[in-house]
Amino acid sequence: MNDEPHLLARVANLTGNGIAIADTEGLILWCNRALSELAGFPRERTPGQSLADVIAACGECEGPSPARAVERREPATVLIQRRRAGDDTLWIACDIEPLTGEAAEPARFLATFREVSRQKRAEDRLVEREAMFRALVEQSLVGVFIAQGPHLVYANPRLTRMLGYSARELSEDISVEQLVREDERPKLHQKIAERMAGTPAEESVIYHAVRRDGNEIIIEVLACSARHEGEPALFGMVVDVTERQRHASEVERLAFFDSLTGLPNRRRLMSAAGELLRHAAASDRGMAVMQLDLERFREINDTLGHAVGDELLASVAERLGSAAPADAVTARLGNDQFAVVMPGSRDSDFSAAAHRIIAAIERPHRLGEHQVRVGARAGLAEYPAHGTRLPELLQRADLALNDAKERRSTMECFSPEVERYVRDRVALEKHLIEALDREQLAVHYQPRINLVTGDVAGFEALVRWPHPRLGMIPPDRFIPLAEHTGLIHRLDAWVMEQACQQCRRWRDLGYDVRVSVNLSTRELERDDFVAQVESALQRWGLPPRMLELEVTESTALSGESGIQALRRLRAMGVHLAIDDFGTGYSSLAQLRLLEPTHLKVDKSFVMAIDDAASTESNEARIIEATIQLARSLGIGTVAEGVETGEQLRFVRELGCQEAQGFLFSRPAPAAEIVKMLRRGAFQPGASGAGG
């Protein structure tokens, strides 16, 4: 047993930790070799030294005072930073532990010195990282939180500013539930339960948060489960996406809704109507697609201005929304074209619903100081009778709409006959293109007779189509088709060229007769129209007075650009005749603006004069008023559609200057016209007037 102290000393010298034993005053009684190596203090000088002095000699100390620990007879741990050569730092932990004797009083002090450089560097790195991450969180551009129980136990400054609450209010007074809109709280509870159960957050969640000031913001939240201070918690990030969502909503509005009326556009209609169609198919219900065009919109837009036109479209959209069934989808397809998709049962009266919508649109619209009436035409296609796919139904509704326009009816439902009619029109369009390409069309000329001298005053050029297989195709079949398809530009240009060329030939033969060419509304819209007329006159060496352009009242006043074009041509010397006068709505001021050379009394009025009694009819009064108006303005008059001697006598007695009609001649080819010119003065019913 006497060898035990020596054995313990040998063991102590073998350990890598420094060991010192001090008396109750803190003076070192014994130390091992490792202490000398760690402390850099000679071992032979250590015994008798104060433990506190030895520790102080090692380096800078952190922690409790060694001397005070000895004085108070209590344990302590001192951290020593020992700097060595080359900026090498050694960290040593000194644990001072009282050793009690038999009287339970400290008899000695055991001081254990151990190197903790690696642990200290690891702790420092941990502290640095914690400080770095705390700085990142505190300065983060997104809100960061820790939720535990009903509150946010931590909220970074960004989140407190975002919500308007202080960190204390969020951790003590305001529950997480109170931070979101009431209708979204069930979703919040579900997501919290999922995250706390360990379900990974595959995507963020959008909530409407309620700020302290009561305003709502839109936030995007991404959270995951973790532990905080040993207890389950949620860690998460919050981003204020209010502006982003508003921008996204604006982008969606622009992409899927019409900016003027607020109605869905074609893209949105296809999506919404597709859903209705799938529901109808799944539930064995019906559905109808209605396409609708406004009548007179262009006229209103041009005469009253685009601002009024825009107001009208907005008013029509509002009427559509209120008149259509509550579950219908309304859309603006473009310009003045709208669509309504109406779900219903298989036996729903969609046609009646469509007529109610049209009636609502046709009621007067109060637009500022203007009260405007606008008409509408519609086409209807029903599911499943007229198709089972949305593109098919839209196409067939469009076919029915075109049929309504052709028939000038308010509304038409799709039918196989409509489809056949459209197929025929498509075929006819193809034939018309071929006729234009191959110059298979012809121009016939109908004379206008001077009622005073009996001479030919001029000729109206009228296009004819002698088809090699189908025979003579009436103008009322192919001219509306040309206008509808845009071929009217080629057709009008071709007729203008043929008429000017023929006029040149007549002049070369010594006949100075004017030629009249009919113009469509679409031709007047062309920017190059005036230049086209000038070019034709120059090409054939004709003075402008040899050409007369015939336009209907509605065409002449259809738009400002057309009016300006006609005024430019009049200034050049080209003559202008207002065709079908009395059927439109031109005013005295508008007639003065255009300065026409002739008014042509519409044949419907002239043909109503069939006996002496009819000379007292309303039609007769219109003829008389027209001739008197023209005379007062210094404008010539032409009576159209004169077929009987009674009609001729009537218009001549009223002072009408010229007339044309079957009484004198049907439209004839140019070769027959030369014979007519050679005869000189024209006699009604002469043999050369054949047709």
Question: Is the distance from CB of 330 to CB of 339 less than 8 angstroms?
Answer: yes
Cα 36 versus chain centre, distance: 84
Sign of torsion, CA 669 670 675 681?
A: positive
Question: Which run of H or E residues covers position 587?
Answer: none
Answer whether 139's CB lies under 8 Å from 44's CB: no
Report the greatest alpha carbon distance in the chain: 166
Amino acid residing at 326:
A
Instruction: Give the span between the Cα atoms of 627 and 632, in whole angstroms.
Output: 9
| pLDDT at 584 (0 to 100) | 52
For each of the domains in the chain, give its residue range(s) and CATH number, in order of start.
4-119 (3.30.450.20), 140-245 (3.30.450.20), 262-414 (3.30.70.270), 448-680 (3.20.20.450)
C-alpha 567/C-alpha 573 separation (Å) is 10
Q: What are the tens digits of pLDDT across the range 338-396?
A: 999 999 988 889 999 999 999 999 999 999 888 899 999 999 999 999 999 999 999 99
Which positions of the chain have pLDDT values less than 50? 1, 585, 686-691
pLDDT score for 164:
94
Helix (H) or strand (E) holding 177: none
Its pTM stands at: 0.52
Phi-psi region of 178 (alpha: psi -120 to 50; beta: other; left: phi over 0): alpha
Contact 70, 50 (CB under 8 A): no
Q: What residues contact 71, with CB distance under 8 A and at least 6 apart?
A: 26
Tell me: the pLDDT tens digits for 150-176? 999 999 999 999 999 999 999 999 999
- Which of these, 573, 408, 600, lies nearest to 518 by C-alpha position? 600
CA 594 – CA 580 distance, rounded (Å) = 16
For the four alpha carbons of 388, 394, 397 and 402, in that order, the dihedral sign comes to negative
